[in-house]
Amino acid sequence: MSRQTKVAAATPAIRVLSLAGVEFSVHEFEHDPAARRYGSEACEKLGIEPPRVLKTLHILVDSAPVNALVPVSGQLDLKALASAAGGKKAVLAGIAEAERRTGYVTGGISPVGQRASLPLCIDESALEHSTVFVSAGRRGLEIELRPTDLVMITNATVARIANLD
């Protein structure tokens, strides 16, 4: 894995990782505008196992914004996330709210380089892999990096927050 800083349209996520000196690689694919399962599309087009591709979900825990990263092959356990975030109730935020708070479009929400620094919780299964993939900040662009680097750069909490298939 190499550190890449030259991408046609560097996103905030790529700029943050580059400035931090984190090793990563960028993988691009032609996004199908008809696709609605963005993580599954990335798996298919890049030939990656679904447990290694993490989807970023924008959640409200006791009305406070929190981001969660879970494998595309699993489902977020809202109760487990609420507990990990020190709250009681978690609900999925609306698309418009997620885009406004993160500065990214749905299907391209990266956990890195968001408009505001929000708490992040990553499912513990991510640490089982040498590298994982997260959105680079736009549809059709993924960042591959070590999960420990992702935890470090985002100051994330790691907990069991996913129901895995």
Q: What is the pLDDT of residues 114-156, one digit of tens each?
A: 998 899 999 999 999 999 999 999 988 999 999 999 999 999 9
Q: Kindly tell me if the per-residue pLDDT of 71 is higher than 50.
A: yes
Q: Give the residue, 32 or 146, on which the prediction is more confident.
A: 146
Tell me how far apart the alpha carbons of residues 79 and 83 are, in angstroms, rounded to a whole number.
6
Q: Note the pLDDT of residue 4.
A: 45
Q: What is the largest CA-CA distance in the chain?
A: 43
To the question of pTM greater than 0.85 for the whole model, the response is yes
Return mean pLDDT, the chain. 91
Q: Kindly tell me if the per-residue pLDDT of 164 is higher than 70.
A: yes
For the beta carbon of residue 55, count every other beta carbon within 10 angstroms.
Answer: 23
Task: Specify the amino acid at residue 7.
Answer: V
In sequence order, what are the residues at sequence separation of 6 or more whose Cβ sits closer than 8 angstroms to the Cβ of residue 99?
105, 106, 109
